[in-house]
Amino acid sequence: MTRKIGPVILAALLWQACVSLKPLPPSFYVETLPADKISLLSLEDRIIVEEAWARIKQGDAGRAAKLVEKMGPQNPFYTVGLGYVSFMNNDIGAAEGYFKQELGAAPESTLAHAGLAQIYIKTGQDDLAFNEYAEVLKTDPDNPWALKEYESLKKLKTEEHFQEAGTYLAAGDAERAKASFLRALHYSPKSLEAHLRLAQLYRSGGQLSNALFHLNAAYALDPKNKDILKDYADTLLAAEQHGRSLDIYRQYLEVDPKNKEVKDRVESLKNKLGIFELPSQYRSIPLSMAVTREEVAALIAVKFKGQLDEVRGKPPVIIDIATSWASREIIRTAAQGIMEGYANHTFQPKQAVSRAELAEILVRLVGRLRAKGFNFIRQFPEGMIQIADVSPDNYYYQPIADVVSLQLMELGPDKTFRPEMTLSGQEAIKVFDLILSLIK
């Protein structure tokens, strides 16, 4: 009986030995070979590479090493293959070197990035591992392994750094709390809470530029959040960025139009910046085929706001501008004596301005600017000017001669001025811009 059992036991022991010699799969993830690169190989090279990769996935380091060596350095999978063989043999330094060498030649290699990610996890370098997961996802956004590892590490480390920050805040250590929130942002750059907490810490420490950086990021993430808008606008105001502050306060009023404090801030900033609201018609002046009196008044009031005095005392009586979009500008230019109403107290805002009328307006504008200390030089004496189509006894002769001598307006090749012609919006703008350039 014993003799019969002996051979059976021996066979079983031999079978167990064979099983124990079977290599175990590696303890790390092995990325699948990219089909687009494999397809470029010859059939012989492809067979070697695929067999080597199968051995790597099986954990057969010895056979995998032989196959990788058989590939040769000219094979595009040779270096990364050496990296995975070294990783299987627990030669971490060599594996990291090979993966980095691979990335020097092929920066988008998911095989190398995946290998480095796992090396960094193994060596406790979570920040670097996270970066490598992100690199894999840049090339392959739907990669299930990288996506799972990336999200898992993101959640873990974000929570960890938030807890750190809370501990430091409780101990009154604002600097370490800021460092922890910044580390949290490395993993979760769109964390609204982290940006807001950092903004609060930086502002309380007087570091307004840093606070604004994080408030701007929070604003980009949630542009309709009125609390964020208020904090952002208040901090911009504290940093004396008045124009941007006004923009954000106005956006706040779109969300909360009844907030009196913010409405008062808007008006205060508008006065400080010298801003008054311009209707859409002003932006349409360049498209005007024949510029009108109200458009000319608006151009003067807006373009020369910094050079002309504010209206003082009782405004002139003009009876036909109540419905004009430029009524405020008309009042201002009329009060300055630059443009006047007619004897019947009308202004006729929709009436097109002729070249002769614009010449008279320009002479009055120049007169007001000279009174403010600005100098205008005649380019040639009036006596040299010969205007073929305007006689000296014409009402507009003198203002036309003046603007021509100052070269604000020009005669045609035939010495004509064409006094009855109208001007386009663009032509009128060009004249006023020329005057602005002369006084700067």
Q: In this predicted model, what pLDDT tens digit does every residue of 370-388 receive, in sequence order?
A: 999 999 988 877 778 889 9
Which residues have a Cβ under 8 Å from the Cβ of 260 and sit 6 or more positions away?
Answer: none
pLDDT at 6: 53
Q: Judge contact between 50 and 77, C-beta under 8 A.
A: no
Cα–Cα distance for residue pair 93/130, rounded to 1 Å: 19
- The one-letter amino acid code at 207 reads Q
Residue 146 covered by a domain = no
Cα–Cα distance for residue pair 263/257, rounded to 1 Å: 8
- Listed as own residue / partner, the contacts of 379-384 with beta carbons closer than 8 Å and 24 or more positions apart are 379/405, 379/406, 379/407, 380/405, 381/405
Which region holds residue 376: left if phi is over 0, alpha if psi is between -120 and 50, else beta? Answer: beta
Residue 407 covered by a domain = yes
> Within this chain, do residues 265 and 361 fall inside the same structural domain, yes or no?
no
> Within this chain, do residues 264 and 413 fall inside the same structural domain, yes or no?
no
Count CB neighbours of 315 within 10 A: 13
Q: Give the range of the structural domain holding residue 256, as residue numbers without chain letter.
A: 190-273
Residue 400 covered by a domain = yes
pLDDT at 5: 45
Residue 352 covered by a domain = yes
| 3-state SS string for 187-244 | HCCCCHHHHHHHHHHHHHCCCHHHHHHHHHHHHHHCCCCHHHHHHHHHHHHHCCCHHH
pLDDT at 241: 92
> Within this chain, do residues 328 and 249 fall inside the same structural domain, yes or no?
no
> Within this chain, do residues 32 and 64 fall inside the same structural domain, yes or no?
yes
Q: Judge contact between 181 and 194, C-beta under 8 A.
A: yes
> Within this chain, do residues 392 and 415 fall inside the same structural domain, yes or no?
yes
What pTM, to 2 d.p., does this model score?
A: 0.59
Cα–Cα distance for residue pair 336/342, rounded to 1 Å: 15
Domain boundary among 254, 273, 292: 273
Q: Is the pLDDT of residue 8 over 60?
A: no
Task: Give strand pairing partners of 422.
Answer: 354
The rounded percent of the chain whose pLDDT value lies above 70 is: 92
Q: Is the pLDDT of residue 68 over 60?
A: yes
Q: Give 333's DSSP letter.
A: H
Q: Is the pLDDT of residue 316 over 90?
A: no
Q: Is the pLDDT of residue 340 over 60?
A: yes
In the predicted model, what is the mean pLDDT of residues 294-321?
85
Q: Coil, helix or strand for 2?
A: helix
* Residue 205 pLDDT class (50, 70, 90 cuts): very high
Domain boundary among 78, 106, 141: 141
pLDDT tens track for 342-366? 999 999 999 999 999 999 999 999 9
Whole-number CA gyration radius for the chain: 40
> Within this chain, do residues 298 and 414 fall inside the same structural domain, yes or no?
yes
Residue 228 covered by a domain = yes
Domain boundary among 257, 273, 289: 273
Q: Coil, helix or strand for 296?
A: helix
Which residues have a Cβ under 8 Å from the Cβ of 401 and sit 6 or more positions away?
Answer: 382, 385, 387
Q: Is the pLDDT of residue 427 over 60?
A: yes
> Within this chain, do residues 100 and 220 fall inside the same structural domain, yes or no?
no
Terminal C-alpha separation, the chain: 119
pLDDT at 10: 44
pLDDT at 311: 64
pLDDT at 26: 56
Residue 167 covered by a domain = no
Instruction: For residue 133, report the phi and psi dihedrals to the nearest 5 degrees.
Output: -60, -45
pLDDT at 15: 42
pLDDT at 384: 81
In the predicted model, what is the mean pLDDT of residues 17-23?
42
pLDDT at 24: 47
Q: Is the pLDDT of residue 310 over 80?
A: no
Cα–Cα distance for residue pair 299/135, rounded to 1 Å: 55
pLDDT at 187: 96
* Residue 439 pLDDT class (50, 70, 90 cuts): confident
- The one-letter amino acid code at 135 reads E
pLDDT tens track for 221-247? 999 999 999 999 999 999 999 889 998
Q: How many CA atoms lie within 13 A of 134 on its CB side?
A: 12
Q: At what angle do helices 78-88 and 61-71 cross, to 10 degrees?
A: 160
Q: Judge contact between 237 and 261, C-beta under 8 A.
A: no
Which residues have a Cβ under 8 Å from the Cβ of 213 and sit 6 or more positions away?
Answer: none
Q: Coil, helix or strand for 338?
A: coil
pLDDT at 7: 52
> Within this chain, do residues 342 and 218 fall inside the same structural domain, yes or no?
no
Residue 434 covered by a domain = yes
Number of domains in the chain: 3
**C-alpha distance from residue 95 to each of 79, 101, 166 (Å):** 10, 10, 38
Q: Is the pLDDT of residue 3 over 60?
A: no
pLDDT at 202: 97
> Within this chain, do residues 223 and 309 fall inside the same structural domain, yes or no?
no
DSSP per position, 374-407: -----SS-GGG---TTS-TTSTTHHHHHHHHHTT
> Within this chain, do residues 119 and 28 fall inside the same structural domain, yes or no?
yes
Instruction: For residue 345, report the phi and psi dihedrals to the nearest 5 degrees.
Output: 65, 20
Cα–Cα distance for residue pair 316/339, rounded to 1 Å: 11
Q: Is the pLDDT of residue 23 over 60?
A: no
Both tokens of 183, joined, read 């580390």
The CATH number linked to 222 is 1.25.40.10
* Residue 271 pLDDT class (50, 70, 90 cuts): confident
Please provide the average confidence, as pLDDT, over all residues in the chain.
Answer: 90
Both tokens of 298, joined, read 């608006």
> Within this chain, do residues 76 and 112 fall inside the same structural domain, yes or no?
yes
> Within this chain, do residues 315 and 385 fall inside the same structural domain, yes or no?
yes
pLDDT tens track for 95-146? 999 999 999 999 999 999 999 999 999 999 999 999 999 999 999 999 999 9
CA 409 distance to own-chain centroid: 42
Q: Judge contact between 154 and 124, C-beta under 8 A.
A: no
Residue 341 covered by a domain = yes
* Residue 314 pLDDT class (50, 70, 90 cuts): confident
In the predicted model, what is the mean pLDDT of residues 37-43?
93
